[in-house]
Amino acid sequence: MSSSSEIYTGPWVNHSHGDVLGATITLTTRNAAFLLAFLAIIVTTAGHSFWRITSYIAHQSRSSSGPHDAIFYQQQAILKNTGTALDAVWKFSRATFAWRKHATAKTSRSLSFVLMAVVLAAAFAVASIFSSQVTKAASGEFLISSDNCGFWDFNISDSVSNVYKTEERSLNDTLQAAIYASTCYGTNNSNSVECDTYMIPEIAWTTNQNASCPFASDTCLLSPTAAYEMDTGPLDSLHDLGINGKGSDRVATRKVATCAPVHVAPYATYYNQTYPDGNIDLTAELQLGDPGDTGSNVTYTYDLHLQFMTIGYDLQSITTHDSASGYSGPGALWNPIAAFNRSDADITMFFFAANAVVNTYPNSDPVFGANIAVNTTDKLFGEYRIIYLADKAVNAIGCIDQYQICNPNLLGLDGETMRCTPLGPAYSLFEASEQIGLNLYQLATVETLVFAFRESSMSNSVDGRGPSALQAQNTLFTTIDAYQQEVPLPNNQWQIELSSWFAVSLAALQQSLVQKASGPTDILAAGGYILKPAIKYEEAICKRQMIRNVAGYQNFSTLGIAIILIFGSGLVILGLAIDTIAGLMQRHFLKRDFQRLSWVSDGYLQLQRLAYEGAGYDEWGGCDDEVPVAKEVEQVPVLGGLDLDVEHPRLVQFAKPETSSELKSSTEDTKQTAVLSQDNL
């Protein structure tokens, strides 16, 4: 799984959901928290603005020059002076309660406003909470971003130690794939966190139990039409493998494995093997082809004395190699004899030996078959019982791996929905893909898949694991002196084993693609190197691999954010400007001065101004605006005059103060009077 430091942050398009719905913004969890808080503020503010819009419309639709009762005017004042729906709920509720004894029938009119405000407040409270759903509206996939993108390798021509390191790394990768396959393939755990790493939890496949023998018809043990075929069908590079790309840049790939138990007796020779201690054991050699430029056709050797030693199951494999593939990993370099050779597939032969394993129950499986009954005495209880030994010392299963690349943008020449390469070995895919009209991005995707296929063969699923690769090993009871198969193995145990290996190969394919995009930097410390992209198209594919279930990051739907911002900002702007815009239209076009002035006059500052004018102070300007302004800036007693009647407070009626001209005239008169008085003296 990719580490959190390898995830791309910023805007991108997840093409699995289309250009619009797939538009995504990836942020770290910390930055995502800030964005969510901002969106919640936008929604909350938009809710306040929507109430202002609603209250304005309600106020104006009720405004008329006819007579109305006091409740009506209070309702108008509440509509004008409440900034939020919750504030309106409180004010209308108080008004309803206050009038309950005076005009019961009329107070019910306020309940409709209470209900309206409650609905709006609840709606935007829910919207504020669900603004966080823009993260769920976005996909759960993330883009891997690494400067070390590439496949790992060792230069095995430098030293034999690099060969061992290659084998070790390949085995470790296979073991990880096997763990994933056992957890997520064919289980009920596909929805668990452990299985939520790749684009899909498991790659599905179909089986055919009556496939044609993959080799010469007389080599298959059961019949020419009793081979076991496992076929993934077309796998979309985006939807199934997680390589992000628009439709024109995607490819489909297919993996088919066909296997069958094969005859070994016709290819076996026996001889006595003398060991340094003087013991002589009968040894069997299976001559199925040169295992690696040895000049000998001896492919597998088995000491029959192992059947009498305390040894459990043994499983080995050997696979073909073609120099054109460029792959020289473990288990390669087998050149099969003609009966098992094919030029259109990668070939693997699995050799199985039961050795000294005894079975509690008989079975007729062609590979695990155990029907040789032996009477024995139980050492612990002294009871007689029957055990069953393997029918054959050695069995073999031959498999072919075939791959296919398809161009989903071109129809097949035979009328098929896609134009595809013939089924063939992995190494032939790239050259064959050049013949089906792929663009450069598609070819770069094919190159990535070819490298990934090197770790997803049937052979690679078993190499180095030995008998631990067997499902039958899980029910093998081991003691100091015995290996006993405790459960009755079904007669199709060989198919169960093959399905298990095929699942591991598919898990390895998923794993290899993610590992390549993440950059297997740990290989550098081991003396290996990374095959980095050489051209821009390969670099582009490096940045397109998607992965799921990444801690520390969060996706947002760009569409969801845009909707919140556009509609939220629109409501905020409209809420701030609706009365101004409507007022201008009422004044200059609609000639509805009463509605305009009633909205202004119901403002608390204008109501205050009206109250002071009623108390005798009428020196005001801005009487048709939101904020009235006293013409005299000096303190005047009328503005602070309040009769402190505890049950009926009111403004005190003060005498109107003298104007400055009046004060000047009064002063001059006083002076003249004083002069006259002096003259009279």
Beta-strand runs (E) in 243-383: 252-262, 268-274, 280-287, 289-290, 298-303, 314-319, 335-336, 346-353, 358-359, 370-377
pLDDT for residue 549: 83
Q: In this structure, how many other beta carbons lie within 10 angstroms of the beta carbon of residue 324?
A: 11
H or E segment and range at residue 679 = helix 660-680
HSE at residue 338, side-chain half, CA atoms within 13 A, is: 0
- Which residue has tokens 């759903």? 133
Between CA 508 and CA 203 the distance in angstroms is 11
Query: Residue 179 corresponds to which amino acid?
Result: I
- Which residue has tokens 């808080």? 37
Q: Which string of DSSP letters, residue by residue, matches 48-104?
A: HHHHHHHHHHHHHHH--SS---HHHHHHHHHHHH--SHHHHHHHHHHHHHHTTTT-H
Q: For the residues 450-478, what does the mean pLDDT come to?
A: 92
Q: If pLDDT is split at 50, 70 and 90, which confidence band does 169 have?
A: confident
pLDDT digits 0-9 by tens, 28-54: 999 999 998 999 899 889 989 999 999
- Which residue has tokens 């000047």? 664
Apex CA 425: angle with CA 424 and CA 430, to 5°? 85
HSE at residue 522, side-chain half, CA atoms within 13 A, is: 9
pLDDT digits 0-9 by tens, 337-372: 999 999 999 999 999 999 999 999 999 999 999 999
pLDDT digits 0-9 by tens, 70-105: 888 888 899 889 988 898 899 888 888 888 777 655
Q: 106-120, 562-576, 628-642: which has the minimum mean pLDDT?
A: 628-642
Q: 188-197, 408-417, 581-590: which has the minimum mean pLDDT?
A: 408-417
Q: If pLDDT is split at 50, 70 and 90, which confidence band does 668 have?
A: low
